[in-house]
Every structure is written in structure tokens, then in C-alpha cells.
Amino acid sequence: MTFAMGLISLGGTYAYQLLECRKLGPDPERRELLGVSLRTPILWMRCMHLSDGTPVGQMAGVSAFCEFTTVSVHSAVKVPDDTDLTEACLLGCCVGTGWGAAVNTGGVRPGDTIIVIGVGGVGSNAVQGAVHAGALHVIAVDPVLFKRDNAFQFGATHAVETIGEAAQLAREFTNGQGADVAILTVGVLEGAHLAKAFAAVRKRGVVVVAAVGDVRPSGVPLPLPLGEMTLYEKQIRGSLFGSCSPHADIPRLLELYRAHKLNLSDLVTTTYRLDDVARGFEDMHAGTNIRGVVVFDETHAGAER
């Protein structure tokens, strides 16, 4: 879920700086401020302290489930005063992650055939990004009928239940070759997802991994035909916050939204009061939301859109 607050506080901004940590130099204070440590098992956790020294964890340097929070200037982007934060708050994570996975990491080009695997809050924006980049066929994959139906609002040309169905469609559209790009935006990444996406792309095709799996070594089998990476030049690319530079790309996406070229309105399925956050998680697990937003203005809370 996402929170509508005064500035757009960005988990994506924090994550981007983790990627840029080698450029921060030897300044220990700045590195500590950003929580940068490549050896830390949980890269997303930044630790602040109360006045008595008690540690307080902030996921992605932002924190949530509270009416007030303290964030680094590096984790916030100023937006115009007349911005509707109930929708624009989505730019803080899911929009840039999905959009950038298609446009930046995947390098989608006009005429491409694209598969987006998982079309919730992130995947719906991968669909939008692919359409914006000129993709001819955008195939949405999701086991939840509600999400497949909603994918058409964001520009999907086809929607199917399984990756196998999507791969078959892509081959039909490309004279048997396969998709140009497959983008993984599932809720929890598993090895089988990656293997099926890899099989669905053509020679020199790209698999973009925007979904997150277990960061620990897990011993999960990854049944990939490794020879295809060399002989077919297939690529697997990780994508953190859509390979975006948040302080540059968030304002750009906001301008697209204000120009009615980026659909944020249909992403917000339900709004919740802070007291209803447990119901928001229930709805998320039930697959009834594209995105749920916690709002602090009572006039906007508790509504299905």
C-alpha cells in the first residue's frame, strides 16, 4: 500500500542511492545516514534512534503507518502545491518501478512484443511504460481475473492467466520467435517465474526482473538452459525502481500525469484510513486491489474508486 503525505517520500529514492553507493566516497557520516552497506542482509532498512538511544527501523529510509515521520532530504521530492497526493503518492514506488522496467531497463522499442507477468500496482505501470515506448503487442499475465480485466485500462492488448499462454501468443505474433521483452512484476519472485520468462523471449530477448524474491541464498533450483544465454544471447536484467533516477524521473512522470498521458486514477482501487490498514492488507492478499492508498484526510478515506 501507499501513503498520501505532504511530500512524495520515496522508497525508490533510497533504493537508487544503494545502487549509487560506490559513488558516495569515503564520507562515513553520509554513508551511515543513507544506511548504505552492501554487506547488510536487509538492504532496505535504515536505522534511526529515539532520544534515549532506542533504535527505530525505517524501511527504505521512509517509514510508514504513522501520521508524522522524519526522512532524509535524499528521500523526498517536492511536488507542486496543487498536486492530488492521493494519486501522485504512487510515484514514490510502484509507478517508477513498473514504468522504468519497460522504458529504462527493458529498453522497449516501437513495434516490440512485450509480456508483463503480474499486473498489480507495479505490473500495470510496466504495461503503461511499454505502451508509451511504442510496443505493438502488450500481453498481461495474471492469475486474478480482476487484474487481467484492469490491464486493458492501462493499454494491454491481451491478457491471459499463465506465462505459457503468453509465450504462445508472443510466438504467434512474431513468426515463432518469442517476445522481445518479458517483465517480471509478480508479488514474490520464484525460480520458476524466471525460467518461464526466459523461455518466452526470442533470441537476444531480455528478461527484466523487477519483482523481489528472497535476498538470502536459498538453494532454489533455477532450471535455465544456460547454453541459450551464450548461443541465443538472451539477457536477464535486474531492475531496482525501474532503473530510474528519482529526482529527475519523478517530476517527469508527474508532468505526464498532469498532461493526462499517465493513468494514475485507475491504479487506486480503494482508499483507507490509518485505522483500517489491516483491511488494506487483507484486500491486497485477496487480489481485490490494484493499489490501496492510506490517506489522512477523512474526506478521502474509506472509498472504493
pLDDT of 65-86, one tens digit each?
777 777 777 778 888 888 888 8
Q: Is residue 71 one of the residues assigned to a domain?
A: yes
User: Confidence band (pLDDT; 50, 70, 90) for 20?
Assistant: low
Q: Is residue 248 one of the residues assigned to a domain?
A: no
CATH number of the CATH domain containing 7: 3.90.180
- Please compute the mean of the pLDDT values over residues 201-218 and round it to a whole number: 89
Residue 6's region, left for phi above 0, alpha for psi from -120 to 50, else beta, is alpha
Q: Is residue 117 one of the residues assigned to a domain?
A: yes
Question: Total structural domains in the chain?
Answer: 2
Joined grid coordinates for residue 113: 512484443
Tell me the backbone φ, ψ of residue 9, rounded to 5 degrees: -90, 125
pTM of the model: 0.83
CATH number of the CATH domain containing 127: 3.40.50.720
**Statement: residue 107 has pLDDT above 80:** yes
Q: Is residue 132 one of the residues assigned to a domain?
A: yes
Asked if residues 36 and 24 have their Cβ atoms less than 8 Å apart, the reply is yes
| Whether 77 and 173 share a structural domain | no
Q: Is residue 305 one of the residues assigned to a domain?
A: no
Tell me how far CA of residue 152 lies from CA of 124, 227, 293, in angstroms. 9, 36, 21
| Whether 122 and 237 share a structural domain | yes
Q: How many CA atoms lie within 13 A of 227 on its CB side?
A: 0
User: Confidence band (pLDDT; 50, 70, 90) for 24?
Assistant: very low
Provide the residue range defining the domain that includes 129: 97-243
Joined grid coordinates for residue 220: 532454489
Lateral strand order in the sheet of 179-184: 158-160, 137-141, 113-117, 179-184, 201-209, 235-238
| Whether 163 and 114 share a structural domain | yes
% residues pLDDT > 90 (the chain):
47
Q: Is residue 249 one of the residues assigned to a domain?
A: no
| Whether 126 and 238 share a structural domain | yes
3-state secondary structure of 128: helix
